[in-house]
Amino acid sequence: MRTALMGTLGFVPTMGFLHEGHLDLVRRAVGENDQAGVSIFVNPTQFGKNEDFAAYPRNLENDLALLEKAGVGFVFAPSVEVMYPTGFQTYVEVMGVSQGLEGASRPGHFRGVATVVAKLFNLVRPSRAYFGQKDAQQVAVIRRMVSDLAMPVTIIIVPTVREPDGLAKSSRNVYLAPTERAAAPVLYQALSAARRRYEEGERHPDALRTVMGAVLATEPRAEVVYLSAADAETLSELSTPTERPILLTLAVRIGRTRLIDNLTLETAGG
Ligand code: AMP
């Protein structure tokens, strides 16, 4: 119905405090659709009890100015009461791909993500929804949910936008004190070192994990939460060499800030 009347609608779900990473998704949504919309909602159900929900950075006024300039047609910035009114009791839980990595480190996180994204899709009814590769496991979870529940939306993935020194752009980067900010590129350095080894022919996941661990160990401020070399499709941790695409992921604490990053390794032409 809407397609006939209004053409395609591109949608970018965010938690706000927008940066160039978000804006890349937004530009794609604006450029590839007849209309584009963005949601800004810091979703309480995807934060653990001791996580940074209350402290999460917010700046709605600045976000709205950036989105207007980017040519977005509408912004949906609901209150918690609108998304989770009294009596709310339905959750979406994706099983397998939610369970390792971020899912293991942040219990309940992906249940919150899947639930809010499903509700946003129902409210906004986009033709295409845009997500960042920065959150690689989130991508896998959303793809699974959309496929398993036959949601009528096409998922588009956008590459990670980085600072010139390699640090993946993130709203949480504002938490970093100057000395911590100087240490933060170590995540991308670790991923890049493993990629170089892969390009030299290394295919054993143990060796790739060792390379990443060795680079991270050179930075005393970096405390590894997890470090993974997994099958890029199933996200199951690898124990033997493979020619299938490999997803390297890292979660590292620098001071009190928890950063994540990832790279996919695949053979040329793969
Ligand atoms: P967030 O506001 O952190 O929930 O992110 C909203 C969307 O922007 C998610 O799909 C993220 O994966 C994506 N995103 C966040 N940071 C980046 C980045 N540096 N590059 C590309 N996409 C990103």
**Would you state the pLDDT for residue 34?**
98
Residue 43 Cα to ligand 1 midpoint, Å, equals 14
Closest residue CA from atom 7 of ligand 1: 14
Ligand 1 atom at shortest distance from the alpha carbon of 169 = 19
**Would you state the pLDDT for residue 140?**
97
Closest residue CA from atom 8 of ligand 1: 22
Residue-wise pLDDT tens digits, 24-69: 999 999 999 999 999 999 999 999 999 999 999 999 999 999 999 9
**Would you state the pLDDT for residue 5?**
54
Residue 29 Cα to ligand 1 midpoint, Å, equals 14
Tokens 């160990």 found at? 217
**Would you state the pLDDT for residue 148?**
98
Residue-wise pLDDT tens digits, 92-112: 999 999 999 999 999 999 999
Q: Confidence band (pLDDT; 50, 70, 90) for 3?
A: very low
Tokens 């998922």 found at? 155
Residues 6 or more apart in contact with residue 174 via CB below 8 angstroms: 17, 57
Residue 86, classed as helix, strand or coil, is coil
Residue 93, classed as helix, strand or coil, is coil
Verdict on whether the full-model pTM lies above 0.75 = yes
Q: Is a pLDDT exceeding 80 seen at residue 269? A: no
Ligand 1, residues at Cβ distance < 6 Å:
14-15, 21-22, 24-25, 131-132, 134-135, 158, 160-161, 168-171
Pairing of strands 154-158, 246-254: unpaired
Residue 267 Cα to ligand 1 midpoint, Å, equals 26
Tell me what the mean pLDDT of segment 165-179 comes to: 98
The DSSP bridge partners found for residue 36 are 10
Q: Rounded to whole angstroms, how far apart are CA atoms 267 and 184?
A: 28
Query: Is 22 labeled as catalytic in the residue annotation?
Result: yes
Residue 99 Cα to ligand 1 midpoint, Å, equals 21
